[in-house]
Each structure stands twice: as structure tokens, then as C-alpha cells.
Amino acid sequence: MRTTTQPATFPHNHQSPATFIRPNSASAPKATPAQTPLPPPHILDLRGSDLSFSLKDELIKGLADGQPRVVPGDTPEDEQFAYTRTIDTLCLYSDAGLEIYEKITELGEYYVFPAELEILREYGSEIACRMFGEPSELLTEDYLERMDGGSNGDKDPPYAPTPAASAGARKEKWGDGAVGVNNNGVNGSISSPKSRSGIAIELGSGSLAKTKHLLRPLAKLLKVSHEGVPAFKSIEYKALDVEKNSLVETLGKLVEKEPESVTSVHDGTPRVVVGGIAATYDEGLEHFKASSSSDDESKSLVWLGSSVGNFTRPDAASFLRKIATNVLTSGDTMLIGIDNCADGDKIRTAYDDPKGVTRSFIFEGINHAGRSLHGGLGGNGGLASKNFKYISRWNAQIGRHEVKSSCPKARVSLNEFCEQAYVQCKVDNLVIPLEGQGTVTLKKNEMVRIEVSYKYTQLEALALFDAAGLRLVQQWTDSRRLHSIYLIEKPAFHFPLHASLGVAPAINPYGLPSLHEWETMWKTWDTITLGIIPRELLMKKPIPLRGLGPSASPSVFARLINRAGHIILFYLGHIPAFAGIHLCRYFGEAPIEPAQFADIFERGIDPDIADPTQINHWHSQVPEKADEWPSLEKIIAYQERVRERIRKVYTQPVEAMSMRLARVMFMIYEHEAMHAETLVYIALQASNSLVPAPGFQVPDFKSLSSSWDRLVAVEGASRRAVIPFGATTVKIGHNDAETADADAKYDASHEFGWDVENPEREVAVDGFKITALPVSNGEYLAWLESAGASLGASLIPCSWELDGTTATAETVRVKTLYGEVPLDYAKHWPVSASATQLLAFAKAKNGRLPTQAELAVFHRHSPVDSAMGNVGFQNFHPVPPTVPHMQRDGSVGFGSDGGVWMWTSDVLAPHDGFSPSTIYPGYSSDFHDGTHLIVVGGSYVTPPRLARRTFVNFYQAGYPYVVAGARIAYD
């Protein structure tokens, strides 16, 4: 509800969870508090600096005449709450205001504080670990005892294939060259352990009553070491708040009451060093922007109390974006508490309690504003609580609580899902002097907005983070699911969604890719090819034959490995070659050197599943021997020359660009995006040899799976629902004929697509039913187990790896970019399998795969590219799909596919009006062979522009490697 604070920054040095041990007396300092009295915590006071915020100036700005009239909604009721004046929320946080606020937190009606406190008490250790990128298991007693030779000391440690899979992971064989070499795994090819520093910065620290539940486990992290080297040299905590006196008091008490966990000085003991910064949010951000951090520092901001709700949604996104841009570096995190409550009665009571404590809080804010603006005036003039009455409003439409003061005769209204606080003027013609700005006069009943408190659904919270350029790492909720604490991070790259916070994109997201989009795509491509995939894999074929089915014998693989299928290095050359060929063709230029690269890398292969020796389309002739391939260095140099040619295109004004050139740029951009997915499919077949994506936190699947289990338990039967749809029509595709390019200038409103998307047509759809969620790994395994061996090995998905020959909950491991994880961690994820395999499952359930049109009907209410969709590298793995749920407007929608494509039963074939591409001959027509099925939606590695409603993907029904699942349809 209330808060004020700022951040700090640090990169992260991920270590293998299996290598951290609890220190013994010989390897770590003892946690003995200093015997001599400690000096008071240091407080940096920025309020008198050049950065200092002027409350008086803000009050004058908010109360001045001539401001636009704000109506918080579009209903007649909203008109009652219209306002033109505001009082800065900061007025609420005087020393006296903070004392009253502490009383509010003790009220039974005020659910926010106890809900957040419950989360921190229950999951504090887990959260503290994740703030700095450590596995949550690190601070569990069971883990520490095993690593310290305790009750489990006689057992083997739980070696994990990667840092992502902590406890419960399959034990690997020492010396297994295929496992752990590149990912901090069991073969130990990690660099010498290094200690790092950590800093946690809390914005709006308040009483620290909740914060101590983070500081205690953070102190424990200081007692963890790796090979005798402490994981952290030090951890500092900085409390940022507007009132210095409050910081002095609260931090002093913290040091006194928590001597085992915190200290005010660096004294060599494993305790968190605490200090404070007296500043507003903006002052603190400017301070941290000006300060620098070293490479061995990790930074995490803490913003609790749902203080983000005090901002409008656009302002909240802007504030978080400022933090992401100016304070955080890649991999830094932020912990943010957000109110989820949608119970109007509970919210109204919380913000207008029967004892009137909240009313007193607001009135003290009015008095503080008056003292700051004009001092005591005496009589009945000026800003004084006696001249106002308190009005609290829950605005369910926009999800916010509104607080206003009203001068009994004017009105106020805020139209958003939030609680709003107003004061209403009780005095007619109330004169308020504005120092140096004359006076303003409030009419009786005039509303003045003093506070808002937005509430966020899961969808809105994710959209907020996306709008700020941040990504969700993990989430914790209280037992009543009234409140959440989200851990978000600044990723190494970010693909913005196209309609965050319900705001339409400023530019056409399906037109000419911007240069910024190109730079993001190149970061993505380099992360996959040079970050995740280790160099020694580039000359290998994790998928010996791209189209080869899972039932092929080893002898077939051996016979064909040199006749079809590409090494990974081919794709590194293919992307720049494809772009260079089409750019040079358009401009009439000579090939980009080395010219022979165009011959080697122009086109890949798609073998026939039924007969892998047959490749039914033209493809490049590639070297047969390893030493005949160009070196990686030469390919990278070639790639950079092509990228420079692309950058050169953008030196001309966009409005001067031709439609055909814009189409070429669109085509080579989306071609690169599609092949980024291809590389992920390939890399997953060597999952235990991959490197965690640099600049992103390694997921802690153990704690994530526990949170997913809790969510699934709450949703219960709704996850097994079958949703009926009546007969209807749906639009497929869009109008984008290449022939219309001619000599036309680029039209910035035009939406490009591929030949399979053109033209738009309306399709009639009979009534049908469809499962709310795709088939999960757990469901698919249960089906295999129930049928026994009769189903055969051909139905084992290639996204799984078995310990042995029989699929069980104990033997199945799911392949991820972080290595193989136990099925128990991924049981709620959608299973990735071939259409052939999923059709067998559907038939066993008396169902079928849905048609393209049926999925278009479903996705009309649950768009794939929503904030819930898990597309665009929101994660580097699938997540449990979400059930369509009731929205604020009463509609039902925004379910999700969990980050996998959706198979359809439709065979790829020419549709009415189809015209094959002329600038990319054979893009789809080469695959009108009766074996390719249409695939729609998007995966966790699909950029949002490819997750568009009209995009059509296609694979052979038996192709087992694509990250694709299926819903089950019924007539």
C-alpha cells in the first residue's frame, strides 16, 4: 500500500549447487557478534543534496489551477469522482504518518501486511537464495547436513546434470565426457571458485518488520563456501526511505535485536552489513545511477508492501523501466510485492477500517502537506484535515483503491481496477496559498486525489514487467493467494510483447523490423550459438537426421549420418548467407565475401520421414569432411559483414524505402528467428552438454515445481475442464500479396507475412469441445503406464530421456536447455511430442487433434502472444499452461499453451487464393506433399511477432524434435 525506496546492481556468478558446503571451523569465520558496542548504522542523507526532491514544488504542481479533469472510468458513477487536483502521496510518510501506518499494519482488516509477512516467513530462505541466483536448496538443513557429512553423509551427493536441477537429480558417472563438461556439472570443468559481494537495496523500508525475514537467511548465505572459498565476501543491505529519523531508529533497533544476522560495520563476521539512504525514490535512483559496481558484485532491489500500486499502471511501468535502464545490469534482480486481491469488500474494509486508523493516516498526510506548503494558517484556511473529509473507493473496473479528500462540493473519480483515496473539501471557497504562485480556491465538495492503490492480476503483473523490459524469474504467494512476491530480473535481451498493459503498440509490430529489433535478434542468436551451445558441439549432429523418426534403428542412423543432416555449424553460416544473398540480389550487388559461402550455406534440408534417404527439395552441397568446413572465426567474420550491410539499409529514411525492400528485410529477419528455434530443437538433443544462457538466472526447478504444485492444487478440476464452443466463423490469415509490392513505397501500416498466410479468408467452424489445457508430461506418462509395453518405444517422446527402457515417474527425465530434469519437476508442463504420438494419445481418449480453425477460435480468447503466453524467451523452458479465467470485464480467456507450439490435424496444402512466394520460391509449396501438418501458436523461444494470430508453421507429422504439444478436441 505505501512505500518509498531505491536500488543497486551486481552480475551473478552461478555455481553448481552440488559443490556448496556448510563451513566448518577451519574454513569459515565464526558467526560471533562483536563484543564491543557497534556504531550506529551509517545513513547517507540525500535530502539536502543537489538531487533533493522538493515536496513543496510537487504540492504546488498538483494543486495548481488549469489541470485536466480526470474521470476514472466511463460510467455515471465515475463522474462522481472526477478531479483536477492531487496531493503527492509522499505527504503521507512523515514521521507521524509512519507511526500511524504501523498501526494500520496491525489491523486485522489490512490483509496486505500479514499476507506478505506470511510469504517471507514461509519462503524467506528460498527467496534470499534466489535473489542472488543461488539454488534454494542451499539453505535447507537436509542439504547442509548431507554436504557436511551429517545424517546423509554416508550417501552419495545428489549430483545434478546442470545447476538447474538440484536435489533429486540423476547421479552421473564421473568421467562421463558427455555430461557436465560445459555446465558446471559433475565433471568439474568450472573455473576456480570466486567470492562475490552482494547488495540488497530496499525501496521504502518502513519498520523492517518484514525485512528481517530476508536478512536472516542472507546472513546464512555468508556461511556457505565452495572448496573452502566463501560464496560471498560480504552482503550489504541498504534501506532507502524518505525520513532520516525513521531510518536511524529502525536500523538501530534492527542491529540491536538481530545481532546474529546483522551488523553496522564490516567486522569479518558472517553478518549482513546494514545502512540507510534518506531519499525519495527518484533521488535514490539518481544516486545508484551515478555509482558503479564491480564485476564480482550482485545486486538485488527489494520493493515490498505493494508500493507499486501507488503508481498508475503506465507510471509503474515507467518507474520500473527507469530502474532496469539506469540501475540494474544484466542478471540483476528485483523483489517486488504486489497485491493480488480482487475481493471488493475485503479491499474496501482494508482501506477504510472501522476504527478509522486509515482515515487518521490520510488526515495526517493532509496536515503534513499544509505544514510543508504554507505552515499553520490558523482559522479555517489552507490544507488542514478539519477542512476535508475522507473518501475511499474501490474501483473494480480498473483494479485500484482510490483515496480522495473532498471539499464537499466537487467530485472525483478514478476509473481503474484499484482502491482510490480522496479528500473532499467541506468548506466553500477554501483558499490555499501557494508560495510564490498566488493562491488556489477549492469549492465545496471538490475532490482531491491523495492516494491510489492498484491491484494486479497475474496477467497484469506480467504485462507490467514486460513493459519495463524485465522478466519474471519466480513467484511466491500467501496461502489465501491475496498477495504475491515476484522475483524479476533484467535479462540480457528482451522481446517486448505487442500490447502490454492493454495499450496498443505505438508502431506496427508486423511491419518492417526496426534496427533495435535486429540488434535484439542478433543478441538472441549469439546467446544460442556462442553462449548456450559449446564450441565442441558445433561440428556434431545431435539430431543425426532432422526428419528421422524415433523408431529408427542405430544402424540406420549410422548409415545415413554422413548423407543427410547438418552439423550445427551449418546454421551459423546459413543465417548470414541467406540474408546476404537476398540483400545483394535486391541491390544488384556482388556477393558478400567470401562469395563461396553463399553456395555452401544457402539452403538446408528436410528429409522425408518415411524414407530419410529422400530429400524432396533443392539444398546446398556441403563439405563431407570436417576439415573442409570454414572455421568458426571465418563464419563469425562473415556474419558481421552481413550485419553491417543490414545496418546500412537503415541509414536511409524509412519513408524512402520501397515495399519490396521492406519485405526482404522482414523475410530475412523472421527467417533468422525461425532458425533460432531450429537450433534450440537441435541443442535439446544434447541437453546435458549445454551452457546456461549467459545474462539470465538459472531456474531453480526444485522450488519452481513446488510452487507449480501448489497452484495446480488450488485450481483442481478446472485444469481438466473441456470447453465447448458453438458453431461460428473465424478469420484465418491476412491480406499480404507480394504482387502488390510493385514499385510502391513502404507503407508503415502494412502487415507482412509468408505465402501461407495470404489471403485472409473466413472459415466456418462446427461446434466442438476442446481441453482447457494441452496434454501434460504427467498425463502422457500416465497413459503410457496404463497401457503397458503394448504401446511400444515409438511413442516415447524425444523430449524425454529414460533411465532404462521403461517409462516411469522415476525413470523419465525431461530435456531442457539446462540439462535433463526429473519428470516430477516438469509433470505439469505440456509434453513436446510428434503429431503421430499425440494423435495416438487423443484416440485413446476418444478424441482427435483440433483443426487450425478450431485452435483459431480458442486463441481468439487466449492469444498466444499475451503476457501469460510464455513466448519470446520469457523463460528458456516450458511452464505449466494456464486455465482460461474470468476477466474484469466478465469475459473468459487468457489461457496459455505453456510455451509450446500446437499441432493441428490440418495437412499443409494450397488454400483458396494461395499464391506461392516469388522472392522465396518453395518456402511452403515444396512441402505440399501430404505429410506436413499445420502447427500454430508459438514456443518459449518464439519472438512475439512470430506468435501472431496468422502465422503458420508446418512439420511432418512424425517429426519428433519440434517443441510442440496438443490440446485434444471432441466433436
Answering whether pTM is above 0.75, one says: yes
pLDDT score of 946 more than 70: yes
Q: What distance in Å separates the CA atoms of residue 164 and residue 818, rounded to the nearest whole number?
A: 6
pLDDT at 282: 87
> What is the per-residue pLDDT across 201-254, written as a single tens digit (0 to 9) for each?
999 988 899 999 999 999 999 998 877 788 899 999 999 998 899 899 999 999
3-state helix, strand, coil in the chain (%, to 5): 35, 20, 45
pLDDT at 141: 79
DSSP string, 902-952: EEEEEEP-PPTT----SSSTTTTGGG-SS-EEEEES--TTS-GGGGSTT--
Contact 391, 406 (CB under 8 A): yes
The amino acid that residue 581 corresponds to is I
* Neighbouring C-beta atoms of residue 277, cutoff 10 Å: 27
The mean per-residue pLDDT over the stretch 784-794 comes to: 80
**CA angle, corner 589, sides to 586 and 593, nearest 5?**
120
pLDDT at 743: 85
What's 149's DSSP letter?
T
pLDDT confidence of 815, banded at 50, 70, 90?
A: very high
pLDDT score of 87 more than 60: yes
* Neighbouring C-beta atoms of residue 516, cutoff 10 Å: 10
pLDDT at 714: 93
Q: Which of 181-185, 376-380, 497-501, 906-910 comes out lowest in average pLDDT?
A: 181-185
pLDDT at 503: 55
Q: Which of 122-131, 597-606, 807-816, 916-925 comes out lowest in average pLDDT?
A: 597-606
Among 414, 209, 406, 417, CA closest to 309? 417
Please provide residue 822's backbone torsions phi and psi, each rounded to the nearest 5 degrees.
-60, 145
> What is the per-residue pLDDT across 519-547, written as a single tens digit (0 to 9) for each?
999 999 999 999 999 999 998 876 654 43
pLDDT at 811: 95
pLDDT at 600: 86
Please provide residue 688's backbone torsions phi and psi, each rounded to the nearest 5 degrees.
-75, -5
Q: What distance in Å separates the CA atoms of residue 367 and residue 100, rounded to the nearest whole number?
A: 13
* Between 2 and 359, residue with greater pLDDT: 359
pLDDT score of 61 more than 80: yes
pLDDT confidence of 737, banded at 50, 70, 90?
A: very high
Q: What distance in Å separates the CA atoms of residue 50 and residue 958, rounded to the nearest whole number?
A: 67
Packing angle, helices 659-684 and 515-526, rounded to 10? 20
> What is the per-residue pLDDT across 27-39, written as a single tens digit (0 to 9) for each?
334 444 545 688 9
> What is the per-residue pLDDT across 321-335, written as a single tens digit (0 to 9) for each?
999 999 999 989 999
Cis peptide leading into 759, omega within 30 of 0?
yes
The mean per-residue pLDDT over the stretch 564-591 comes to: 91
pLDDT score of 661 more than 90: yes
pLDDT score of 179 more than 60: no
pLDDT at 823: 97
Q: What distance in Å separates the CA atoms of residue 46 and residue 950, rounded to the nearest whole number?
A: 53
Contact 556, 713 (CB under 8 A): no
pLDDT score of 44 more than 60: yes
pLDDT confidence of 755, banded at 50, 70, 90?
A: very high
pLDDT score of 757 more than 50: yes
pLDDT at 552: 42
pLDDT at 148: 61
pLDDT at 84: 95
pLDDT score of 154 more than 80: no
pLDDT at 405: 54
pLDDT at 499: 63
Among 845, 846, 843, 841, CA closest to 796? 841
Give the containing element (helix H, strand E) for 709. Answer: helix 701-715
**Grid cell for residue 310:** 501507488
> What is the per-residue pLDDT across 279-296, written as a single tens digit (0 to 9) for each?
988 889 889 887 766 678
Q: Which of 177-186, 666-675, 700-709, 865-874 comes out lowest in average pLDDT?
A: 177-186
The mean per-residue pLDDT over the stretch 689-697 comes to: 95
Among 943, 866, 952, CA closest to 902? 952
Instruction: Please report, rounded to a whole number, the percentage of residues in the chain having pLDDT higher than 90.
Output: 65
Q: Which residues contact 276 (CB under 8 A, 6 or more apart)?
A: 41, 42, 43, 44, 205, 238, 239, 240, 241, 244, 247, 248, 251
* Between 555 and 252, residue with greater pLDDT: 252
> What is the per-residue pLDDT across 73-83, written as a single tens digit (0 to 9) for each?
778 888 889 99
pLDDT at 231: 87
Q: Is the dihedral of CA 958, 960, 962, 967 positive or negative?
A: positive
pLDDT confidence of 394, banded at 50, 70, 90?
A: confident
pLDDT confidence of 553, banded at 50, 70, 90?
A: very low
Q: Which of 293-307, 661-675, 806-820, 857-871 comes out lowest in average pLDDT?
A: 293-307
Strand pairing report for 761-765 and 728-732: antiparallel
The amino acid that residue 662 corresponds to is A
Contact 367, 377 (CB under 8 A): no
Among 206, 283, 282, CA closest to 239? 206
The mean per-residue pLDDT over the stretch 141-152 comes to: 59
Packing angle, helices 632-649 and 659-684, rounded to 10? 150
Please provide residue 346's backbone torsions phi and psi, each rounded to the nearest 5 degrees.
-65, -40
Q: What distance in Å separates the CA atoms of residue 303 and residue 202, rounded to the nearest whole number?
A: 6
**Grid cell for residue 507:** 508502431
* Between 51 and 310, residue with greater pLDDT: 310
pLDDT confidence of 732, banded at 50, 70, 90?
A: very high
Average pLDDT of the chain, as a whole number: 84
pLDDT at 556: 37
* Between 11 and 344, residue with greater pLDDT: 344
Contacts of residues 143-150 at CB distance under 8 Å and 24 or more positions apart, as own/partner, are: 143/167, 144/22, 147/20, 147/21, 147/22, 148/21, 148/22, 148/24
Based on its alpha-carbon atoms, the radius of gyration of the chain, rounded to whole angstroms, reads 30
Residue 764: strand, helix, or coil: strand
